[in-house]
Structure 1
Amino acid sequence: MALLKILRSSQITLPVELRQRFNLAEGDYLDAQAVTGGILLKPVSLVERKKAWDEVLAVMKEVHATHPDLNLAPEKEEEWIAKQVKAHRKTKKSKAHA
């Protein structure tokens, strides 16, 4: 358990062990939520809009290249891609926390 102190301007410092474990650096964002019995802090990744669209387009090209017979309606294709992206992020996140 880490003991944190609220400093001037309501700032807190996370112990180095937690920053290293969750790969946090200066300027990173944390989502703060009130939960039963306390406050939950979760790391959040913010992505530039252009970079996000570039990644989506790259995934779509890969989908069409590897699954030319998929032939889904645009809405279904978006759902399928969203599932693939979510699965990829989940494996990426689990590797970061290992």
Structure 2
Amino acid sequence: MQFSKVSGKKNEHKVALYALSTCVWCKLTKQFLSDNNITYEFVDVDLLDQNDKTQAHQTITTKGGILSYPTIIVDDKTIITGFRKDKLKEALEI
């Protein structure tokens, strides 16, 4: 599964975003991360082939998440489902 990397000045946390290419909330999440200069990686799950989709779903559910988008995993432990500025600010210490 190939993630796209977006560089930012703040890279203290590892941020992985699982998104859908057509999802407004996913686009808002990407914009929020970029506006706050957060380095993050993202993958648009709906554009993946079936094997990579399965892998993405397993990664999310194994870490305790639900299959809802956007799903953000911070530092491989904190799962945020949906566009939640408050939770993102808390997890990313911004």
Interval containing the TM-score (normalised by the shorter chain)? under 0.3
Which structure has more relative contact order (CA 8 Å, sep 6+)? It is 2
TM-score relative to the length of structure 1: 0.21
Q: TM-score, normalised by structure 2?
A: 0.22
Q: Which has the larger radius of gyration?
A: 1
